[in-house]
Amino acid sequence: MNKVFPQGENDYTAAGPKAHPGGEGDVPQSLPRFLVAHCGDPASWIYSDQKCDTTNNCGDCSDELSPVTVCPPCGPGWWHCPSTFFKYCDCIPRRLCRDHIQHCSDRSDEYACPGP
């Protein structure tokens, strides 16, 4: 579940990385460490429930792809491909397959994906 935050400093918005002044990856001291996951950029962080949720929350896909994160393979409602959309990293929802719009850089969503 993504948390919703109003737009704040540096134009970071809801479900995006949080960066705080004062040092690399500073997080509010009131948050337990298990609630925080660091992004590929050491100055950015997300809530740990945003890792492996198929959405590019860090902005560089480090919350979805190794070596920073090890996520399970795409689930049954997803298609594995190199995505052309910033929102997705390694899997796209199958509902986007065969809709006559390219969502995968290799076009497999239009030719190989079995669809929803």
- What's the gap between Cα 55 and its chain centre? 3
HSE-up of residue 103 (Cα within 13 Å, Cβ side): 25
- Does residue 46 contact residue 18 with C-beta atoms inside 8 Å? yes
- Peptide bond between residue 67 and the one before it cis (omega within 30 degrees of 0): yes
What's the full length of the chain, in residues?
116
3-state SS, residue 109: helix
Summarize pLDDT for 26-75 with one digit per residue, the tens. 677 788 888 888 898 888 889 999 998 888 999 988 998 877 778 888 88
| pLDDT level of residue 4 (50, 70, 90 thresholds) | very low
3-state SS, residue 96: helix
- Does residue 83 contact residue 89 with C-beta atoms inside 8 Å? yes
